[in-house]
Structure 1
Amino acid sequence: MENYPKYVTREAIESLVKKLSLPEPGPFTQDWEYEVADVTRINEFLSFYENSSFNEEERFALMIVIIESLNDAIEKGDVDESILRKAKELLLKDKAIHTNTIIYWSLESEDLEDCFAITPFIRCVKEMI
């Protein structure tokens, strides 16, 4: 049984806050990785993910930020195919880190009309792992 990351750690949050100038979590924040998503920073997030040296926990947390940002962009109808290709490439490259994230966003047993905007994309990625 693989030991994939399951949750975003406080250490990963603190590191990404510093490295990417993201908002710090408040005292009652529970879903920081969703709250800091930003469609205007997707390219920056992808570039940082691809070109920076950081640990597995940080990669796990940042990918969730990326996916939530992409989900928001897809909902707005404003996402470029090249961005989706890059996200898919990174998800597959680090599938050992992101398997739980892929499973979560794929909502495998749900009808697509009851899913996230990004679920069809994630289901395609899931078929490749």
Structure 2
Amino acid sequence: MADKYPKYVTQTAMKGLIQKIDLPAPDEFSQDWEYEVSDAARVSEFLYAYENVELTTDEKFALMIIIISSFDDAILEGSAENNWSNLIRHHLLQDHRIHKHTILYWAMLDEEDMSNVYAVTPFMREIAHLFN
């Protein structure tokens, strides 16, 4: 598997996740659906789905983006649960081939000014450095 990592959320993955974990469908003005449906209150539910629902590679890729975006929101809100980071780290490391681009996106390795990064960026940098 050379560099055949998923890079984009596909329509098929979107439809599958809408059906499998009851996510809202995009409307006619939707852009970046995976960020629109993120929800800090559903991180545990999303993690449960990642672990227990039969998902394709593209669905896992899309769901992990939703999980990380939701986790980022939870960090900002101060509602992140302690066990989430361990579960997310485990899945990112276990499925790193699927999530390579997602890890690098959120890690923002080229940004030196930590005031210009996501709340989840320090956590994602720890994971990204495991592969360097």
Alignment deviations for residues 64-120 of structure 1 (CA, whole Å, 9 cap, x no partner): 000000000011122122111100100110000000000111110112111001000
One-letter amino acid of the structure 1 residue matched with residue 85 of structure 2: L
For structure 2, the 5+ residue unaligned runs are none
Pick from 114, 117, 125: which aligns with 2:116?
114
What is the alpha-carbon root mean square deviation over aligned residues?
0.9
Per-residue deviation, 1:28: 2.4
Hey, which bits of structure 1, 4+ residues long, moved more than 2 A? none
Q: Is the 8 A contact 2:89 2:127 kept in 1?
A: yes
Q: Which residue of 1 aligns with 2:36?
A: 35
One-letter amino acid of the structure 2 residue matched with residue 102 of structure 1: I
Distance 1:103 1:3 in 2: 15
Q: Does 1:125 align with 2:127?
A: yes
Q: Report the TM-score, using the length of structure 1 for normalisation.
A: 0.96
Q: Is the 8 A contact 2:40 2:71 kept in 1?
A: yes
